[in-house]
Structure formats: structure tokens, C-alpha cells
């Protein structure tokens, strides 16, 4: 966001040269939370105009994914947080938009921009499992629109099928490891077998899973974990590979 826009430097969560003094920012690091059921109409017109203008000038045919939000926080974190939890606001609890409101909210956004963009990505830390039956099948959208959500890795094949039939073709499940001992240390509440089965089910129903491997937990036997990965990963060449390997080393 440009600093020459009147008032920009006064907005909480927006850092600029104007609101920085002695290495510290005068504004808060984020804005105040709104009730999740207070729908804020998203206006991507200016962004898409600039994006399309750049694409025409460079010959790029790519299109962006437009973001939306239907929940805040993480419902698993409120019950039993993962040991590596990256959600760093201890003052917030999980809250999701009312299903009927979420259907209307997503349908309106997609209806407004589906002629200019075909991918709509939820920025939710984790999808409300009620949405699989109460929201996703009821969202109005063209057949070529793709939805993206983040989820836990415990979705059943039936749940994944509902997601796929509803347009969720990209899923980011919290797999994090294919080592049951490491998963237990992470307090993920799952096993390597269940994570591998989820990857298999995703492919069977037509969903592409985006996942990564985490390593370097304080009590992890790194050599043993890497040796297991070297042994197991070649056996899973028929499944989508991890997108990255992230270390939690101190």
C-alpha cells in the first residue's frame, strides 16, 4: 500500500516510514478483531485492473487467487495446540462465520469476480468441519471455479469427496510429518499411516494436497527421522510430494 495515500500511516497493521520512530512503529502490529459474522465486502477491482494491465504488458497469462476469510483462530489450538503452533496471538479463540452467512458471502464474492479469476482461497487457519456439509455444497459458483482451504489431516474419504464435488480442488492439510513418533511429539493427534492414507484419498477424489515436512523438534532424533524419510519417500512416488522441508532448529 502506498504511503502517499492520506491516512495510511495511521492504520493499525500498516507499517510505513511515516509511522516509524527510533526503530519502533507508532501503530499496533495489527488492527482490532471484528466479529467474524460482520461481513466486509471485498473490493478487488483495483488490484485486478493492475494485475491484468501488467499481464497484458508482459504477455503473462497467469491469474491470481483471490482471498477470503470465514474463520479466525484454530479450533484444534483451543483444545490441544500443536507443539510448533505458529498461531502467535494467545488472546484470540476460534470463531467461524455462520454457515448461512458463509454461503452468501462466498457466493457473492465468486459471483462478482469469477469472470476475472477462477481460484478463490480461504485464509482460514483451519476449515470449520461443519462447512463440509453445511456450506461448501451450497456455494453458488461456475463449474470452473476452484476453492482452496486449509484443514487437519483427519478428513475421511467421504468428507474429501464432498469437498471435491463442491469445488475444493486444492487442500492444505496439516500433515507435517510421515513419522508417527514425530507426529506424537508434535501433538498432531494422528499417525504416519493416516497421513499417507489422506494423500491417497485426495488423489482418488480429485484434490491436490499441498503439504510440507517439518523437522528439528527439540526431542527429535534427527538422524533416525531422516533415515526413515530416505527409506519411505521413494515408496510413495505415486503420491504428491511435499512442497517443502522446514526446519525448527534453534
**Per-residue pLDDT tens digits for 46-77:** 999 999 999 999 988 888 999 999 998 887 77
**Per-residue pLDDT tens digits for 135-147:** 999 999 999 999 9
Domain boundaries of the chain, sorted by first residue: 1-32, 35-247
The beta-strand segments (E) located in the chain are: 20-21, 24-25, 65-68, 71-72, 95-96, 119-122, 146-151, 168-173, 208-209, 212-215, 244-247
User: Is it the case that residue 248 has pLDDT exceeding 70?
Assistant: no
Q: What global pTM score does this model have?
A: 0.84
Residue range 35-247 in CATH 3.20.20.70 = yes
Looking at every residue in the chain, the average pLDDT score rounds to: 87
Amino acid at each position: 500500500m502506498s504511503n502517499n495515500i492520506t491516512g495510511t500511516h495511521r492504520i493499525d497493521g500498516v507499517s510505513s516510514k511515516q509511522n516509524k520512530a527510533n526503530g519502533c512503529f507508532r501503530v499496533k502490529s495489527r488492527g482490532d478483531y471484528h466479529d467474524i459474522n460482520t461481513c466486509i465486502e471485498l473490493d478487488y477491482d483495483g488490484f485486478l485492473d493492475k494485475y491484468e494491465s501488467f499481464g497484458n504488458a508482459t504477455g503473462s497469462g497467469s491469474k491470481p487467487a483471490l482471498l477470503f476469510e470465514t474463520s479466525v483462530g484454530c479450533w484444534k489450538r483451543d483444545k490441544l495446540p500443536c507443539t510448533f503452533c505458529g498461531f502467535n496471538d494467545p488472546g484470540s479463540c476460534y470463531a467461524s462465520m455462520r454457515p448461512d452467512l458463509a454461503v452468501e458471502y462466498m457466493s457473492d464474492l465468486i459471483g462478482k469476480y469469477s469472470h476475472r479469476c477462477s481460484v478463490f482461497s480461504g485464509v482460514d487457519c483451519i476449515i470449520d468441519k461443519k462447512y463440509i456439509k453445511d456450506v461448501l455444497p451450497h456455494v453458488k459458483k461456475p463449474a470452473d471455479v476452484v476453492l482452496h482451504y486449509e484443514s487437519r489431516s483427519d478428513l475421511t474419504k467421504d468428507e474429501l469427496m464432498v469437498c471435491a464435488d463442491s469445488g475444493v480442488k486444492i487442500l492444505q492439510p496439516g500433515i507435517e510429518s510421515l513419522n508417527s513418533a514425530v507426529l506424537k511429539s508434535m501433538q498432531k493427534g494422528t499417525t504416519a499411516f493416516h497421513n499417507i492414507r489422506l494423500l491417497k484419498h485426495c488423489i482418488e477424489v480429485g484434490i491436490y494436497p499441498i503439504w510440507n515436512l517439518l523437522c528439528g523438534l527439540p526431542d527429535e532424533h534427527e538422524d533416525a527421522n531422516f533415515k526413515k524419510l530416505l527409506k519411505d519417500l521413494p515408496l510413495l512416488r505415486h503420491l504428491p510430494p511435499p512442497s517443502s522441508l522446514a526446519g525448527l532448529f534453534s
